[in-house]
Every structure is written in C-alpha cells, then in structure tokens.
Amino acid sequence: MEDLSIKIDTLSDEILILILRKLSNIEVLYSLIGVNQRLNRIAYDSIFVNNLTLFERSSNGSIQPLPHSRFERFFREI
C-alpha cells in the first residue's frame, strides 16, 4: 500500500496559507516562528501579523491574556 502522508514542506505556500487561516493568528505565529526560513516568511506575512489579538480562549470558554512566556516570545520575535 502506498504511503499517503503529506509533509508540510511539500505543500505550496498558497495551500499552506489557506490551511493556516483556519487557525487564530496567534496560534500560527507561535507554531511557526523559528521552524525554518520558509515558515518564518509565511508566519510574518501581513495576513497573520496585521491583526493580532493577544488574548486566548481557555478550555472553559473564558477569554484571558496570553501567558507571560508567550507574550515575551512575540515581543522578542516580532
């Protein structure tokens, strides 16, 4: 049987951006920053960084500020 797994590196930028737009901008940045040059370029695209909300929804549905460690990472990287 043929291996049907697809690696993220094999996707075009356009397809990858369509997928990533389903996530919150903050999740995209936190997940992709520092992985490699291509993903850095995509993460820093204006689609994701022009409108950042530095809050997150907790498991019980309440909205809370980002944890200090995450905020510090964004502050350093962006």
3 in any annotated domain: no
Task: Tell whether 65 is covered by a domain.
Answer: yes
In a domain, 20, yes or no: yes
**Which ranges of 1-78 does DSSP label H, i.e. alpha helix?**
13-20, 25-32, 37-43, 46-49, 68-77
Domain assignment present for residue 4? The answer is no
Asked whether the whole model's pTM tops 0.85, one would answer no
What domain range is 24 assigned to? 11-77
Give whole-number Cα distances, 49 to 28, 60, 71, in Å: 10, 27, 14
- The per-residue pLDDT for 64 is 81
Q: What is the pLDDT of residue 2?
A: 56
Whole-number Å distance between alpha carbons of 56 and 33: 18
Instruction: Give the chain's domain count.
Output: 1
User: What's the average pLDDT block by block, 10 residues per block, for the chain (78 residues)?
Assistant: 66 88 78 84 79 74 79 71
